[in-house]
Amino acid sequence: MTHALPNADAQAAPAITFDQFLAVDIRVGTIVAAEPFPEARKPAVKLEIDFGPAIGVKRSSAQITEHYDPATLVGRQVAAVVNFPPRQIGKYMSEVLTLGFPDANGAVVMFAPDQPVANGARLF
């Protein structure tokens, strides 16, 4: 899943409650499969991410081609929103939103823990 988000120079979003934050379910998972997605409108990679036994393996279309080669992604942990509705990207159903930040040129740098954690661990 991909969504247009504000850049680093944008004002902070309006204040939300802690309960609103908790409504966004952000989990860590391990990439178990990655392949190019040449049919996508914008360059992307098809990911399969293991979020542990409670959530399972979910699919994601991620616009990460600038910094990541699909051949090097398997085994890497990433963070994703797991409770958005699935989104059809061409003929591919993206089930989770893989998270990242823009680099100086706007290319996605994936968001991941700096130490291994259990698949399915929730961000708090």
Residue 96 has pLDDT above 80, yes or no: yes
Percent of the chain with pLDDT over 70: 94
Residue 55 has pLDDT above 70, yes or no: yes
Percent of the chain with pLDDT over 90: 84
pLDDT, averaged across the chain: 93
What per-residue confidence (pLDDT) applies to 2? 45
Taking the C-alpha atoms of residue 2 and residue 5, their distance in angstroms, rounded to an integer, is 9
Residue 69 has pLDDT above 60, yes or no: yes
What per-residue confidence (pLDDT) applies to 6? 54
Q: What is the CATH number of the domain that holds 93?
A: 2.40.50.140
In what helix (H) or strand (E) does residue 94 lie, and over which residues does it extend?
strand 92-94
Taking the C-alpha atoms of residue 108 and residue 99, their distance in angstroms, rounded to an integer, is 9
Cβ burial, residue 123 (10 Å; 0-12/13-18/19+): middle
Residue 3 has pLDDT above 70, yes or no: no
Domain region containing 98 = 18-110
CA distances from 100 to 19, 53, 54, 64 (A): 23, 24, 24, 9
Residue 8 has pLDDT above 90, yes or no: no
Instruction: State how many domains the chain has.
Output: 1
